[in-house]
Amino acid sequence: MKIFMASFGTETNVFAPMPTGWEDFEECYFYRHDTLSQPSKLFNSPMHLWNKRAKEDGHEVICSLSTFAMPAGITVRHVYEELRDMVLDDLRAAGPVDIVLLSQHGAMIAQGYDDCEGDLMAEIRKIVGEKVIVGTELDLHGHLTDKMMDSANLLVFFKHYPHDDIDERADELYDLAIASAEQKITPVMRFWDCKMIAFYRTPIEPMASFVAEMKEREKEPGVLSLSLCHGFPTGDMPDVGTRMMAITDNDPDLASSLAEEFGQKIWELREDFRVDFPSIDTALTYSHESNKHPIVLADISDNAGGGAPSDSTVMLRAVLEKDMDDVAIGIFWDPGVVRICKAAGKGAVLDLCLGGKHGVVSGLPLNINAEIMNVTTHQAQAMGDGDVMMPLGTLVWLRMENNINILVNDVRNQALSRLPFLEIGIELEKLGTIIVKSSNHFFNSFDVVAEEIIHVSGPGAMSFDSATIPYKKRDGNYWPKVENPHK
């Protein structure tokens, strides 16, 4: 068989201040036909796996585009259209294929396109016709739309957040796509709309048990795949929200009943997902006065992984005002400060104007006096402690008086892992408070050293109180905006 594969995407926060353009794709990674000879990078990791499986099975592989942009604001129209058309041109040039496999995010919005993934799948379907199997692996923070359902045969979402199951899900999608193309199964997809917009952390209860139950039920006869599409709250489009997806072997009634059964479970658990994070002042006071150490505080509102600038000074300013000591905070995205520090070099003591430059929600720039403790170039970090690397560019470790340690870089990314802190020389175990600019991907890695982890609610481009998000395209009939959107 002939398998065509491609991967491109981003996660669009329509409330973020910076548009997503060409440079954002090129900075993260951009390969047209040579992905398979390059290192595995997050969303192209499935392409490496599919190629390996296909080669073992004796299938031919055609590899098209693979690129990803760090989440930010809405994607520039012509950039999306040019990326999409590269994939479509490659598909036409490939001639007849048996299977199309895509690795996409699911929450990419461009000017004029609320549903970029659905648009791409629909255009692919027009080219390949009805008989070719089209399967897509998606981030659980994507959206699930009718256009995707109408255009693809198989939609498989990650089950874990943090996303440490990308290859596991890619493996499953490959198996399902091959079995479908060989007509051993006939996938039928149905979803149930939970009418909720919330934040679900799968390493902890009740979500850990929910995920385990999905996996258990997938072993039952006729059940091919179950996915909870969490949705991406700050991606304003008509379908944003939580949807439960079921794929069965030619049994639409079973798919519908399973989607509703699992969707209802999430609905019944909703009070567990009501946002109740402490304020910055409460969290810092608690950590400052606590005997536990280190306590990890997540600055969830300034998470680059959700499109925020990652240069908010609000928490650092509060740390200094409270006269705290033994703190690490990062990663600030401030290319100007990085350039100055790179020139000055290790050991220099400088007055710097840090952060607060890339959005009104980032607060004002903060004037600090700090010693440059270390500078590393071509830094990268893995998701958790895995081996799929993402670029961080040049990383600078600054230290202010009272042992306040600050990480700054010039390639925007959230603090996925504690490794950048450790590799540059910061001894995390000896600190009282570690502040990470991330929502949840940091969790598994920092859990190893943290005595306690606290998600902190502050101002920023990422909002976790979905009841107050000022949607223009999504209607207001969702929990927690209304208590019962199902009546």
CA distance 465 to 194: 17
Residue number, 141 or 143, with CB nearest to Zn ion: 141
Residue 336 sits at φ, ψ, to 5 deg, of -65, -45
Q: Taking the complex as a whole, how short is the minimal distance between the CB of residue 141 and Zn ion, in angstroms?
A: 4
Residue number, 187 or 307, with CB nearest to Zn ion: 307
Residue number, 115 or 410, with CB nearest to Zn ion: 115
Q: Taking the complex as a whole, how short is the minimal distance between the CB of residue 139 and Zn ion, in angstroms?
A: 4
Q: Taking the complex as a whole, how short is the minimal distance between the CB of residue 42 and Zn ion, in angstroms?
A: 10
Contacts of residues 349-354 at CB distance under 8 Å and 24 or more positions apart, as own/partner, are 352/398, 354/313, 354/316, 354/406, 354/408
How many residues belong to the site for Zn ion (CB under 5 A)?
2
Tokens of 460: 């920023």
Q: Taking the complex as a whole, how short is the minimal distance between the CB of residue 486 and Zn ion, in angstroms?
A: 26
Interacting span for Zn ion (CB under 5 A) from 64-72, 136-144, 351-359, 428-436: 136-144
Across-strand partners of 244?
192, 228
Residue number, 139 or 410, with CB nearest to Zn ion: 139
Q: Which residues contact 487 (CB under 8 A, 6 or more apart)?
A: none
Terminal CA-to-CA distance of the chain, rounded, Å?
48
- Residue type for 4, please? F
Interface positions, 138-177, toward Zn ion (CB under 5 A): 139, 141
Interacting span for Zn ion (CB under 5 A) from 22-30, 135-143, 339-347, 449-457: 135-143
Residue number, 141 or 418, with CB nearest to Zn ion: 141
Q: Taking the complex as a whole, how short is the minimal distance between the CB of residue 165 and Zn ion, in angstroms?
A: 11
Q: Taking the complex as a whole, how short is the minimal distance between the CB of residue 118 and Zn ion, in angstroms?
A: 18
Q: Which residues contact 403 (CB under 8 A, 6 or more apart)?
A: 325, 326, 327, 431
Residue number, 404 or 462, with CB nearest to Zn ion: 462
- Residue type for 422, please? L
Residue number, 28 or 366, with CB nearest to Zn ion: 28
Confirm if 98 and 63 have CB atoms less than 8 A apart. no
- Residue type for 229, please? C
Interacting span for Zn ion (CB under 5 A) from 66-74, 137-145, 217-225, 478-486: 137-145
Confirm if 157 and 214 have CB atoms less than 8 A apart. no
Q: Taking the complex as a whole, how short is the minimal distance between the CB of residue 231 and Zn ion, in angstroms?
A: 10
Positive or negative CA dihedral for 231, 22, 85, 28?
A: negative
- Binding stretches for Zn ion (CB under 5 A): 139, 141
